[in-house]
Structure 1
């Protein structure tokens, strides 16, 4: 079981890992060994996640989510399969942890009486400065 939070855990069977050839550093090895990891997780079909978490995770995933609701993560930062596998799972956990955080609902506020008065006083000052600029200068 992969622990996301104290209440949410995902069985490892829900995650499908496949190894593909990576691009980038690795020398001759990069053409011979499949070290990059492609993690697939059926986000929308997972029985382990609550609906709210699924929806927020889908928003956070963006283009990494397929039309079928499958989350696809590619990990190829490291030169070994094991490190890339850990990296992919870690990134999945981070994404799902971020999705568990519910943003507080915004309550609309109104300006205070003092801030309204300050605004009107500032407008009055600006207006008086501009009115002084309108007149023609006195020629002595």
Structure 2
């Protein structure tokens, strides 16, 4: 299996301080409709170094819910590699939406420091 990792580049500061940092090294890409519909539902937890990436063919409003997800997550909405929204979702009851062609779900706290305008991408 190829090494997939999720990387973040801040949009602020000088070029020297805008270095890439790895957000996750254990990355799953939900490509099928079934994988995207299921997301993180029914899992008891996820590793600290984990990300679930949802790539879509076009930009649209993307809703996330936490039904059957018993732990908090950080969600990141992205358009053309640029962060459009970051939100922590509460276990079981969290609900949020944002414009995106890609959505990323991470363990709560993993997206600390990620802000609107930053770049995020995954490398395969």
- The TM-score normalised by the length of structure 1 is 0.24
Bigger relative contact order, structure 1 or 2 (CA pairs below 8 A, ≥6 apart): 2
- The TM-score normalised by the length of structure 2 is 0.26
Report the structure, 1 or 2, having the larger helix content: 1
Report the structure, 1 or 2, having the larger strand content: 2
Which structure has the larger Rg over C-alpha atoms?
Answer: 1
